[in-house]
């Protein structure tokens, strides 16, 4: 009824002329609407569709009409859907006060506009980028979990083998052979056992060093994805095809840095192993998880060449690296400090990846979609 665009209260209507004025008080956040309302008779002959005597009916209706002028005031403190008003007669005398129930408030209109804008944005997003592919996300998670589990099984098997070699071999046999001999013979046997144990420790540490170096450089061997690193020539060609920031390090720096980090990973992991006493432990498995996420990131970046997904994925690589550093530091602070250059380098690499994604227009999507 209060809609100024309705056919009954339309100022341009040939049936009924109304006077509608609207003013807004910006200081009190109130809206005042002055509407000339018409009280129609109970039997509204205005709705008759017959063209005969239409003019006489209209004149009779207007004569019987009782006009009143009501001032409606809506404020933020009024209940939703209501507006207080005070009616005045045509002569200016004050009439009755009350409340008018309104179909929509200003806040309802603003909420509908926000919902309409959000719906438009979502539709454009789906049209330009496509829906998120749950299948690809499941594939990525499965590949990371599979690689971490396979490396964990290898670590568990190595624990069993090292326990059998170092625990059941030299020390017990030497002690049993020295029973019943002189003190000098016992001392000599103990010295020989200590020397053999030291030798075995050195051999074990050398073996573990190369094993962890292999994991750091070739962990993709256990991955179900093609996570091979790009060669130097390929890296130079990719640099020519993609825009990169001016502060990008030369391509020859990356292999040197990663080899150095592999050396630090090996040293820190050996320090953790000497403290914990086994390979299949939570701190080392955190490093294994970091390697698995890194192999997935290499697949997305170098094979699928999705810069947007790569930019998001490098955040997971960075967070997993710092989490592994924290776990190493919790076991042995020296091990954490030895592994810390990994987190520093990956922080620089994260800034580089996001810069490459930002300057290559149009920017690629940040999530895997069904339409690659």
Mean pLDDT of 125-130: 63
Tokens standing for residue 180: 């019943």
Tokens standing for residue 63: 């004569």
The answer on pLDDT for 7 being more than 60 is no
Q: Highest-confidence range of 120-124, 173-177, 253-257, 337-341, by mean pLDDT?
A: 337-341
- What percent of the chain clears pLDDT 90, i.e. is strictly above it? 32
The answer on pLDDT for 307 being more than 90 is no
**How close are the terminal C-alpha atoms of the chain, in Å?**
53
Least confident of 22-31, 195-204, 284-293, 337-346: 22-31
More confident call, 19 vs 111: 111
The answer on pLDDT for 119 being more than 80 is yes
Least confident of 36-40, 91-95, 153-157, 355-359: 36-40
More confident call, 63 vs 147: 147
Closest residue by Cα to residue 162 from 289, 271, 286, 280: 280
The answer on pLDDT for 1 being more than 80 is no
pLDDT band at 53; cut points 50, 70, 90: low
More confident call, 109 vs 236: 109
Alpha helices per DSSP H over 181-244 = 183-218, 232-241
Q: How far apart are alpha carbons 39 and 48 in whole angstroms?
A: 18
Mean pLDDT of 338-350: 95
The answer on pLDDT for 76 being more than 70 is no
Q: pTM for this one?
A: 0.61
The answer on pLDDT for 277 being more than 70 is yes
pLDDT averaged over every residue in the chain: 74
The reported pLDDT for the residue numbered 334 is 95
Q: Highest-confidence range of 220-229, 231-240, 278-287, by mean pLDDT?
A: 278-287
Q: How far is CA 77 from CA 29, 73, 80, in A?
A: 10, 11, 9
DSSP symbol at 18: -
Distance of CA 47 to the CA centre of its chain: 59
More confident call, 299 vs 7: 299
H or E segment and range at residue 113: helix 106-129
The reported pLDDT for the residue numbered 167 is 63
More confident call, 255 vs 272: 272
- What percent of the chain clears pLDDT 70, i.e. is strictly above it? 62
């Amino acid at each position: 009824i209060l809609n100024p665009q309705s056919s009954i209260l339309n100022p341009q209507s040939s049936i009924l002329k109304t006077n509608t004025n609207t003013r807004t008080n910006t200081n009190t956040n109130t809206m005042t609407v002055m509407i000339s309302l018409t009280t129609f008779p109970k039997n509204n002959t205005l709705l008759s569709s017959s063209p005969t005597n239409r003019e006489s009916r209209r004149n009779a209706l207007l004569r019987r009409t009782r006009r009143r002028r009501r001032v409606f005031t809506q404020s933020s403190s009024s209940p939703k859907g209501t507006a207080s008003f005070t009616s005045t007669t045509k002569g200016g005398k004050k009439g009755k006060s009350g409340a008018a129930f309104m179909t929509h408030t200003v806040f309802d209109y603003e909420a509908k506009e926000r919902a309409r804008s959000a719906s438009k944005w979502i539709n454009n997003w789906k049209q330009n980028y496509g829906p998120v592919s749950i299948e690809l996300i499941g594939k990525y998670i499965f590949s990371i979990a599979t690689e971490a589990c396979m490396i964990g099984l290898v670590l568990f098997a190595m624990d069993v083998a090292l326990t059998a070699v170092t625990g059941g071999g030299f020390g017990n046999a030497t002690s049993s052979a020295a029973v019943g001999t002189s003190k000098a013979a016992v001392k000599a046997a103990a010295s020989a056992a200590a020397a053999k144990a030291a030798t075995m420790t050195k051999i074990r540490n050398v073996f573990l060093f190369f094993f962890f170096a292999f994991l750091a450089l070739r962990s993709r061997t256990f991955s179900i994805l093609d996570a091979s690193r790009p060669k130097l020539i390929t890296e130079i060609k990719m640099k020519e095809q993609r825009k990169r920031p001016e502060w990008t390090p030369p391509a020859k720096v990356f292999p040197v840095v990663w080899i150095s980090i592999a050396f630090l990973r090996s040293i820190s992991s050996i320090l953790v192993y000497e403290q914990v006493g086994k390979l299949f432990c939570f701190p080392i498995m955190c490093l294994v998880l970091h390697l698995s996420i890194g192999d997935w990131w290499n697949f997305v970046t170098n094979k699928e060449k999705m810069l947007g997904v790569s930019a998001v994925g490098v955040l997971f690589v960075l967070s997993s690296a710092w989490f592994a550093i924290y776990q190493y530091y919790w076991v042995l602070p020296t091990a954490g400090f030895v592994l810390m250059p990994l987190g520093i380098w990956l922080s620089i690499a994260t800034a580089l990846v996001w810069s490459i994604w930002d300057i290559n227009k149009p920017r690629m999507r940040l999530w895997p979609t069904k339409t690659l």
